[in-house]
Homo-oligomer: A and B are copies of this chain.
Amino acid sequence: MSEPFSRVALIGLGLVNSSLARVLRQKAPATEIVGCARSQATIDKATELGFVDRVTLDPAQAVEGCDLVVLGSPVGTFAPLAAKIGPHLAEGATLTDVGSVKKAVFAAVSPHVPPGVHLIPGHPVAGTEHSGPEAGFAEMFEGRWCILTPPPDADPAAVERVAALWCMAGMSVELMSADHHDAVLAITSHLPHLIAYNIVGTVTDLEEETKEEVFKYAAAGFRDFTRIAASDPIMWRDIFLTNREAVLEMLGRFSEDLSALQRAIRRGDGAYLETLFTRTRAIRRGVIEAKQV
C-alpha cells in the first residue's frame, strides 16, 4: 500500500491543512480524511469543495481511530485543543502540526499527549497571503522546505512517516531543534511580516486623500508589503505572542541598523548608503541560487 496513513484528522481547515487535504486526495486517494473546524461555515465549505470524507465540529471525535492528526489552526488554540483530543488519540498514532513556531507548540501540546502517541511538530514553510479552505491548492508545497522538530526521544519511524507525508507534497524535509527553528524563522519570516505590518499600518494612519494616491503609486515598492501584511491576522498575532523573544531579538538588531541608516541619510553620507545597498543586492543572488524566488 502506498498510503503512509489510512485515516488522517485535519484539525483546522485553513490554507495549509486544506492544501494538504488536496495533496492527499491526489497522491493517496485511499486515505480517509476527517475534517474538523470551529465554524459550521468552514465545515460546509470543505464539504462543498470535496476534500474531506467526514466532517465534525468536535476535535475529540475527529481524532478517533486516526493514525495521523495534523493541527492546522492558529497556534494559540493548540493548548486547549491538545487537552481536548489527548484522551481520544489512538495508541500508536502520530500527532503533528503546521504551526510557524515550534518551541511554544511543543510546550502547549506535549503535556496532553498520552504514552504511545508520537508527537512530531512540523512546519511546512509555504503559504500565500490568502486564508480559508477555498484558498488552498495542492501545488503550494512544491519545491519548498518542511522543517520537523522532533524531540530527542522521538520514534525515528514516526519522524519518517511525517517526513514521507511532506515529501509526497513535493517538499524537502529538514530536521532541527525547535529552538533553532524559531530563531531562523524569526529572521526569514516573523521579522519581515512584522515590518510589513508596521509599514502598512503607518500608511493606514495617513489622511484619506493621501491614501488614494498611495494605492495608485503602490507599484513603486509599497505593493509588495501590502501582500505580506494581508496575511491572516489571528495566525500572526499568535506567532508574535509565542515567538516573542526571538522576534524581539531580531527586531532589536533591525532597529539598531535602522538608526544607523537614518543617521547616514540625515548626514548625507552617500558612501555608507552605497556600500549597504551594494551588499544587499548580493544577497538576492543567494536567494535565487537557493531556488526560493
Contacts and interface: CB of A to CB of B under 8 A. Distances in A.
Interface of A: 76, 100, 125-127, 129, 144-145, 147, 174, 183-185, 187-206, 210-211, 213-231, 233-234, 236-238, 240-241, 244, 247-248, 250-251, 253-255, 257-258, 261-262, 265-266, 268, 270, 273-274, 276-284, 286-287, 289-290, 292-293
Contacts of A287: 215, 218, 222-223, 226
Contacts of A183: 210
A276 B193 CA distance: 12
Contact of A292 (B201, B223, B244, B270): B223
Given A185-B217, A255-B255, 6 more contacts: A129-B284, A190-B221, A198-B261, A224-B227, A224-B228, A238-B270
A192 B199 contact: yes
B277 A229 contact: yes
Q: Is the interface of A mostly helix, strand, loop or mixed?
A: helix
B255 A204 contact: no
7 contacts: A129-B284, A187-B214, A188-B213, A189-B217, A229-B284, A237-B274, A244-B268
B192 A221 contact: yes
A228 B236 contact: no
Given A201-B280, A203-B187, A277-B229, A193 B221 contact: yes
B211 A286 contact: yes
Top 6 closest pairs, chain A to chain B, by CB: A189-B220, A233-B277, A230-B284, A192-B221, A215-B290, A200-B280
B233 A293 contact: no
Contacts of A262: 248, 251, 255
A275 to B, nearest CB: 8
Given A273-B241, A277-B197, A206 B187 contact: yes
A204 B283 contact: yes
Contacts of A248: 262, 265-266
A286 B188 contact: no
A173 to B, nearest CB: 12
Contacts of A286: 211, 214-215
Contacts of A204: 279-280, 282-283
